[in-house]
């Protein structure tokens, strides 16, 4: 079945990154500071804190919208979600959800956010266009971490008290399966191909590996003490697990389901996130008030970035979408879909209207232009060619200099 993803308007910020002359992109990390009730904004290229945003109370989790325009933050004590406008670095909306929200995730098409309400045993579904709750789903006891499949058809919820993971069908917003995992599951992450879910079992000292085809645990991997946060590398080869009881990060080789190395980080590590190119892993150290930056080539900490007090930052808190200086000029005439997405050998860029003399740029996560195509027509077939597996951005510029952008994944 073809997976069409329609481009929506975005905000983009061109920045120089790395050594490429055409590097126009950078990513941003948003770290939730639980005690100071702020979000620290980190420029991933420079590792500098560029802004500090006041938000609600007792914040835990963060999720960045796929277009990079919004950041959603859960306020555990306030029973709300703050929406941050990334262009202004200010809260633009506050949404009432269930009791004691923890984990949150925005699905890949950006239309909905799913919030785990620990005291209600529910998940609130937020319509991101209206910033309102559209429905509430009953799940297991004390839901905590939340993650979405790459195609957005499923959301996985870790139920920390009954040691299960609920699988939500996002088309019907109903629970389609419940999977027993380890003791007190906390964070979880989905592999880039959607075939596996990795669940950090806080009291079990392990990671459960779920086979998403059978909705069953295929492996249990011992890690450090009290694993909480977990994230998978963009190429799917490694999983990084924060062990807050042993102040370490376990690196799991996904081919063998074994720990290949253990990295010492700060005190009480919690949230963990990976850069889009897989070269950096950021770990929020709750008791040190900083973020450890791991160089994945050497599996060593290269720097500690000071942030607010008690950073938790549950969830993948790094924006993977490019951001532009000023508002992107969006028109219906340049609206398009990409299918299939992800793709293996080729995908089709399909426009709603016939195009004349537009430019299609294919740009990698480091900002390097891979391909530039001058195009007239309605459907353009993008061949894999010499492109490697990973995340890319399709940028469309029409004759009037209107610009539209979208992420595409090559598997």
Q: What is the 3-state secondary structure (H, E, C) of 88-125?
A: CCEEEEEEECCCCEEEEEECCCCCEEEEEECCCCEEEE
Owner of token pair 């063998």: 256
Question: Do residue 287 and residue 337 come from a single domain?
Answer: no
Q: How many of the other CB atoms lie within 10 Å of CB of 224?
A: 20
* Contact predicate 341/408, CB 8 Å: yes
- Domain that residue 186 falls in: 27-306
At 132-166, the pLDDT tens digits run 999 999 999 999 999 999 888 999 999 999 999 99
Render the burial of 356-386: b for 16+ CB within 10 Å, e for the rest: eebebbbbbbbbbeeeeeebeeeebebeeee
Question: Do residue 298 and residue 352 come from a single domain?
Answer: no
Confidence of residue 386 (pLDDT cuts 50, 70, 90): confident
Question: Do residue 292 and residue 405 come from a single domain?
Answer: no
Q: pTM above the 0.75 mark?
A: yes
Q: Looking at the domain assignment, is residue 7 inside a domain?
A: no
The average pLDDT across 200-208 equals 96
Question: Do residue 340 and residue 388 come from a single domain?
Answer: yes
Residue closest to 15 by CA, chosen among 54, 63, 64, 48: 48
Question: Do residue 265 and residue 192 come from a single domain?
Answer: yes
Q: How many of the other CB atoms lie within 10 Å of CB of 211?
A: 14
* Percent of the residues in the chain that have a pLDDT greater than 70, as a whole number: 89
Q: Looking at the domain assignment, is residue 167 inside a domain?
A: yes
Q: What are phi and psi of 333, to 5 degrees?
A: -65, -25
At 294-326, the pLDDT tens digits run 999 999 999 999 999 999 988 777 775 544 433
pLDDT value of position 331: 53
Higher pLDDT: 241 or 368? It is: 241
Question: Do residue 150 and residue 216 come from a single domain?
Answer: yes
Q: What are phi and psi of 287, to 5 degrees?
A: -90, -10
**Six-digit token pair at 235?**
């190429």
CA distances from 344 to 238, 269, 347, 411 (A): 21, 36, 8, 5
At 54-91, the pLDDT tens digits run 999 999 999 988 777 899 999 999 999 999 998 899 99
The DSSP 8-state label assigned to residue 331 in this structure reads -
Rounded CA-CA distance 192/233 in Å is: 8
The average pLDDT across 11-37 equals 53
pLDDT value of position 326: 32
CA distances from 182 to 22, 162, 204, 208, 219 (A): 46, 10, 6, 6, 11
Q: Looking at the domain assignment, is residue 131 inside a domain?
A: yes
The average pLDDT across 385-392 equals 82
pLDDT value of position 365: 62
**In this predicted structure, which of 80-84, 169-173, 283-287, 362-366 has the lowest mean pLDDT?**
362-366
pLDDT at 192 over 80: yes
* Contact predicate 187/228, CB 8 Å: yes
Choosing from 249, 273, 306, the residue where a domain stops is: 306
The average pLDDT across 30-35 equals 93
Most confident of 314-318, 352-356, 399-403: 352-356
Choosing from 245, 277, 306, the residue where a domain stops is: 306
pLDDT at 5 over 60: no
Q: How many of the other CB atoms lie within 10 Å of CB of 102?
A: 25
pLDDT at 1 over 50: no
Question: Do residue 194 and residue 288 come from a single domain?
Answer: yes
The average pLDDT across 264-285 equals 92
Q: Where in 254-368 does DSSP place strands (E)?
A: 258-264, 269-274, 280-285, 290-295, 300-306, 324-327, 336-339, 346-364
Question: Do residue 238 and residue 344 come from a single domain?
Answer: no
Confidence of residue 329 (pLDDT cuts 50, 70, 90): very low
pLDDT value of position 6: 26
Q: Looking at the domain assignment, is residue 14 inside a domain?
A: no
Supply the mean pLDDT for the chain.
87
Confidence of residue 332 (pLDDT cuts 50, 70, 90): low
CATH number, residue 221: 2.130.10.10
pLDDT value of position 399: 80
The average pLDDT across 333-341 equals 81
Would you mind telling me the total number of residues written for the chain in this entry? 411
Question: Do residue 265 and residue 345 come from a single domain?
Answer: no
Question: Do residue 258 and residue 383 come from a single domain?
Answer: no
pLDDT value of position 283: 96
Question: Do residue 40 and residue 189 come from a single domain?
Answer: yes
Q: Looking at the domain assignment, is residue 149 inside a domain?
A: yes
CATH number, residue 361: 2.60.40.3080
Q: Looking at the domain assignment, is residue 319 inside a domain?
A: no
Confidence of residue 333 (pLDDT cuts 50, 70, 90): low
Confidence of residue 394 (pLDDT cuts 50, 70, 90): confident
Q: Is 131 left (phi over 0), alpha (psi -120 to 50) or beta?
A: left
Q: Looking at the domain assignment, is residue 101 inside a domain?
A: yes
Q: Is 226 helix (H, G, I), strand (E, B) or coil?
A: coil
Structural domains in the chain (count): 2
Choosing from 306, 339, 373, the residue where a domain stops is: 306
Confidence of residue 207 (pLDDT cuts 50, 70, 90): very high
Most confident of 232-236, 305-309, 338-342: 305-309
Q: Where in 107-181 does DSSP place strands (E)?
A: 112-117, 122-127, 132-138, 143-148, 154-159, 164-169, 174-180
pLDDT value of position 17: 23
Question: Do residue 231 and residue 328 come from a single domain?
Answer: no
Higher pLDDT: 370 or 33? It is: 33
Q: Looking at the domain assignment, is residue 57 inside a domain?
A: yes
Confidence of residue 172 (pLDDT cuts 50, 70, 90): very high
Contacting residues for 88 by C-beta, under 8 A, at least 6 apart: none
The average pLDDT across 364-377 equals 81
Contacting residues for 185 by C-beta, under 8 A, at least 6 apart: 144, 145, 158, 159, 160, 163, 164, 165, 199, 200, 201, 202, 208
pLDDT value of position 334: 65
Contacting residues for 156 by C-beta, under 8 A, at least 6 apart: 146, 147, 148, 149, 165, 166, 167, 168, 188, 190, 197, 210
């Amino acid at each position: 079945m073809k997976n069409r993803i329609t481009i929506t308007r975005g905000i983009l910020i061109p920045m120089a990154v790395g050594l490429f002359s055409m590097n126009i992109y950078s990513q941003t990390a948003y770290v939730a500071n639980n005690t100071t009730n702020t979000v620290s904004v980190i420029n991933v290229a420079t590792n500098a804190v560029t802004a500090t945003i006041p938000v609600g109370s007792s914040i835990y989790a963060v999720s960045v919208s796929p277009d990079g325009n919004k950041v959603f933050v859960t306020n555990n004590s306030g029973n709300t979600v703050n929406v941050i406008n990334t262009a202004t670095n200010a809260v633009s909306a506050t949404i009432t959800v269930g009791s004691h929200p923890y984990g949150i995730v925005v699905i890949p098409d950006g239309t909905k956010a799913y919030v785990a309400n620990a005291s209600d045993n529910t998940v609130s579904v937020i319509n991101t266009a209206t910033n309102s709750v559209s429905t509430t789903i009953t799940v297991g006891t004390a839901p905590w971490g939340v993650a979405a499949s790459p195609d957005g058809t499923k959301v996985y919820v870790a139920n920390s008290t009954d040691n299960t993971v609920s699988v939500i069908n996002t088309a019907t917003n109903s629970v389609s399966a419940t999977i027993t995992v380890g003791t007190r599951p906390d964070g979880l992450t989905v592999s880039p191909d959607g075939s596996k879910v990795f669940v950090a079992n806080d009291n079990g000292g392990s990671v459960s590996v779920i086979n998403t085809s059978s909705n069953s645990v295929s492996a249990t991997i011992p890690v450090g003490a009290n694993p909480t946060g977990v994230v998978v590398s963009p190429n799917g080869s490694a999983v990084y697990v924060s062990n807050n009881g042993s102040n370490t990060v376990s690196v799991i080789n996904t081919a063998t389901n074994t720990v290949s190395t253990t990295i010492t980080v700060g005190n009480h590590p919690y949230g963990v996130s990976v850069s889009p190119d897989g070269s950096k892993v950021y770990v929020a150290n709750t008791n040190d008030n900083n973020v450890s930056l791991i160089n994945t080539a050497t599996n060593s900490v290269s720097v500690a970035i000071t942030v607010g007090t008690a950073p938790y930052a549950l969830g993948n808190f790094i924006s993977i979408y490019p951001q532009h200086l000023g508002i992107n000029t969006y028109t219906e005439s340049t609206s398009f879909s990409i299918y299939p997405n992800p793709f293996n050998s080729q995908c089709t860029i399909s426009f709603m209207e016939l195009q004349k003399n537009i430019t299609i740029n294919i740009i990698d996560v480091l900002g390097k232009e891979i391909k530039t195509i001058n195009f007239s027509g309605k459907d353009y077939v993008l061949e894999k060619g010499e492109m490697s597996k990973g995340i890319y951005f399709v940028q469309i510029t029409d004759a009037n200099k209107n610009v539209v952008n979208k992420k595409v994944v090559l598997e």
